[in-house]
Amino acid sequence: MPVATPEVYAEMLDKAKRESYAYPAINVSSSQTLNAALAGFAEAESDGIIQVSTGGADYFSGPTVKNMVSGSLAFAAFAQEVAKKYPVNVALHTDHCPKDKLDDFVRPLIAASQERVDAGGLPYFQSHMWDGSAVPLDENLQIAQELLAAAAAARIILEVEIGIVGGEEDGVEGGMGEHLYTTPEDALATAEALGLGEKGRYLTALTFGNVHGVYKPGNVTLKPEILKAAQEAVAGKYGKESPFDLVFHGGSGSLPEEISAAVDYGVVKMNVDTDTQYAFTRPIAGWMLSNYDGVLKVDGEVGNKKQYDPRAWGKAAEAGMSARVAEACTALRSAGTSL
C-alpha cells in the first residue's frame, strides 16, 4: 500500500486508541533497515510507523554529506516507492529533534511539506517530533504551539515530549532520577497550551521512568500509573475521556506487564530502536564469524564472492530485524489489526 495519507494515519491512531493497542515506531537509517521494518509489519499483518532520527537522517544523506533534510527527503522518497508493494499501511515520522536542530531538521521539513500541500499534494511526513525535554516546560510549550500551528497547516501531526527520557540518544542526554516522571500539573499545562485537538492533532510523550539505551528487564523503574494520573487529571478538567494520544519512548528492558499497562492507559505509539539495531547487527556478526574464510582473503586466497556480497549477509540481517519488528507488533497487540 502507499504510505499512509493524513486521513489514513488519523484512522490508524483512532483505531489503536479504540481497540487498545499501539504501533511499533521503528527507527531506520538505511534502505536495508527500512525494508526490514516493512517486512516485519507485513509478517505481523500490522500497520506501523517508520521513523528517522537526526542521526539517522544525517546517515541517509551520506556520511560525507551529513544533511538531515536531504537525508529525510531521501528516506521519504524511497519509502513511498517500496511501501507500495506491502499489504500494510505505514506512516513516516521524524524522531527526537532538540531545540538546536529545529532550524536544520523539523522546520524546513514542515516548510517543504507545506509547499507540496499548497500545490495539491500530500506532506512528505505524517508526523514530526519536537523534543523540548531539555528546556523549561514553559519554553517547551511555547515552541510546541508555534510548531503545532505550522504542522496542522501542512496536514501533519506533531509529537511533543513533556518530561525527560533518561539515558542517551543521538547525543541528547536525559540522565537519571526523579525528573524522569511527568506530573499531572505538566499534563494540564500541555492541554491548556496545545488544546485537545482544536488547534491541531498532536501525540504526547509523557515520561514515566523511560530510559533510552540498553537495559536488562527489571533494571528500569517504570511507573505506568503516571500515564493514568495524567489522563485523569486532564479528563477531569475538560470532560474528555483519555484525552491524550500517548507515546512510549525508551522501552528497552521494560517488562511485558508494564508495556501492557501503558497501552491500557492510552499509548498508541511505542518507539523501538535499540532492540532492532541489535536484531539487525547480530546476524551479520554470526555470518562473518561463520564464513570468515570466504569473507576474508586469507593466506593470499581470493575469498568467496557469494559470502562477502553485501546481499548475502544483508538478507540475514534484514530477516533478524523483521522478526523483531513482528515480535513488537505482537507485544503491543497491533498484530492482525491492519486497516
Nearest of 32, 35, 14 to residue 23 by alpha carbon: 14
**Does residue 27 contact residue 308 with C-beta atoms inside 8 Å?**
no
Q: Which of 32-46, 171-185, 239-253 has the lowest mean pLDDT?
A: 171-185
Q: What residues contact 69, with CB distance under 8 A and at least 6 apart? A: 57, 104, 105, 108, 109, 112
Averaged confidence pLDDT in the chain = 92
- Residue 176: predicted pLDDT: 44
**0.75 cut: is pTM over it?**
yes
**261-275 confidence digits (pLDDT tens):** 999 999 999 999 999
**120-177 confidence digits (pLDDT tens):** 999 999 999 999 988 999 999 999 999 999 999 999 999 999 976 544 444 444 444 4
pLDDT band of 210, cuts 50, 70, 90 = confident
Nearest of 188, 217, 149, 326 to residue 336 by alpha carbon: 326
- Residue 178: predicted pLDDT: 53
**Does residue 250 contact residue 271 with C-beta atoms inside 8 Å?**
yes
**Does residue 57 contact residue 94 with C-beta atoms inside 8 Å?**
yes
Q: What's at 298, amino acid-wise?
A: V
Nearest of 115, 109, 121, 35 to residue 79 by alpha carbon: 35
pLDDT band of 215, cuts 50, 70, 90 = very low
**Does residue 11 contact residue 128 with C-beta atoms inside 8 Å?**
no
Where is pLDDT greater, at 172 or 220? 220
**5-35 confidence digits (pLDDT tens):** 999 999 999 999 999 999 999 999 999 999 9
- Residue 181: predicted pLDDT: 82
DSSP letter string, 215-235: --TTSS---THHHHHHHHHHH
- Residue 180: predicted pLDDT: 67
**228-241 confidence digits (pLDDT tens):** 999 999 999 999 99
What average pLDDT score do residues 235-263 get? 91
Q: What's at 37, amino acid-wise?
A: A
Q: Which sequence positions are flagged as catalytic?
A: 95
**194-206 confidence digits (pLDDT tens):** 999 999 999 999 9
Placement of cell 532538540 in the chain: 98
Report whether pLDDT(44) > 80. yes
Classify strands 172-175 and 167-169 as parallel, antiparallel or unpaired. antiparallel
What's 296's DSSP letter? S
Q: What's at 47, amino acid-wise?
A: D
pLDDT band of 219, cuts 50, 70, 90 = low
